[in-house]
């Protein structure tokens, strides 16, 4: 369920849940990698990096993106 944050009303918090649909889409589309951005520190998102990790558990697709660290994304070493 996604609710837009009403402009001008900072007291209303949106609850955005995307981890499971994102993991499902990556699996269905045969993605080689999945990158979750803005998973921490955004108070209008209710899911955490741990939630995203749980949705992708065992898939081997989720690219780790530590804050402030440049991450390269490319073919897997086996490719």
pLDDT at position 79: 53
Q: How far apart are the first and last CA of the chain?
A: 37
Residues 20-52 have pLDDT tens digits of 888 999 999 999 999 887 777 776 677 888 988
pTM (2 d.p.): 0.65
Domain chopping of the chain, boundaries: 1-73
Residues 46-79 have pLDDT tens digits of 788 898 899 999 999 999 888 888 888 876 566 5
Q: Per this entry, what is the length of the chain? A: 79
Residue 23 contacts residue 53 (beta carbons within 8 Å) = no
């Amino acid at each position: 369920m996604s609710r837009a944050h009403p402009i001008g009303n900072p007291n209303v918090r949106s609850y955005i849940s995307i981890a499971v649909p994102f993991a499902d889409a990556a699996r269905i589309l045969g993605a080689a990698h999945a990158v979750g951005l803005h998973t921490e520190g955004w108070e209008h998102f209710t899911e955490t990096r741990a939630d995203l990790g749980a949705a992708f558990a065992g898939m081997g697709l989720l690219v780790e993106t530590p804050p402030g660290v440049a991450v390269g994304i490319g073919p897997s070493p086996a490719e």
